[in-house]
Amino acid sequence: MQELRSFTQQHLAELAPLIAASSAEGYSMVQRLAEEWQSGVQTFSQPGEGFWGIWQGQRLRAIGGISIDPYQPTATIGRIRHVYVLPPWRRHGLAKQIVLHSLKHAAGHFAKISLYTNNPAAAKLYEACGFEPATGFVRSTHCYNYQG
């Protein structure tokens, strides 16, 4: 059985398999997540922020969350961050579950949500969750608007 739960600093050691798999695919975001969390740069603790994992039993299968967008000029814009699913668990709805949970969690805290992806499959996922191609956003490919 899969369970979506809050991800906290106590779970950082559980990132090891995700760091290895993402690095093998050429992605640095999971490693960067661990480093930023350990240094205190990003702990997803501001209002509207949150980070989650999906576990199957005791094994972490997927991660992702939302933070204030550090690239935008206002704190009213959130950003989907570090969504990653272990390859054998893709196409089971885990990333979508995390993204939709993040959007629900952030409602009322942010007016818009941005994200960046260069992965066509991920872009389709985000668009299926209500994101549109972004215009006028720094370092963003997609935007979700709560007001429209």
CA distance 61 to 81: 16
Contact 79, 69 (CB under 8 A): yes
Looking at residue 148, its pLDDT comes to 54
Looking at residue 37, its pLDDT comes to 96
The answer to whether residue 77 scores a pLDDT higher than 60 is yes
H-helix segments, 12-147: 16-24, 29-39, 94-106, 120-128
CA distance 65 to 7: 9
How many CB atoms are located within 10 Å of the residue 47 CB? Answer: 10
Q: What token pair was written down for 54?
A: 């999906």
CA distance 89 to 111: 32
Tens-digit pLDDT profile for residues 112-135: 999 999 999 999 999 999 999 998
Looking at residue 142, its pLDDT comes to 97
- Positive or negative, the Cα torsion across 26, 34, 44, 106? positive
CA distances, 71 to each of 15, 33, 86, 102 (Å):
25, 16, 27, 19
Q: What token pair was written down for 44?
A: 């997803």
3-state secondary structure of 4: strand
How many CB atoms are located within 10 Å of the residue 14 CB? Answer: 15
Looking at residue 12, its pLDDT comes to 96
Tens-digit pLDDT profile for residues 11-28: 999 999 999 999 999 999
Name which residue leads in pLDDT, 73 or 60.
60
Q: Indicate the pLDDT class of residue 92, thresholds 50, 70 and 90.
A: very high
Name which residue leads in pLDDT, 148 or 71.
71
Tens-digit pLDDT profile for residues 30-67: 999 999 999 999 999 999 999 999 999 999 999 999 99
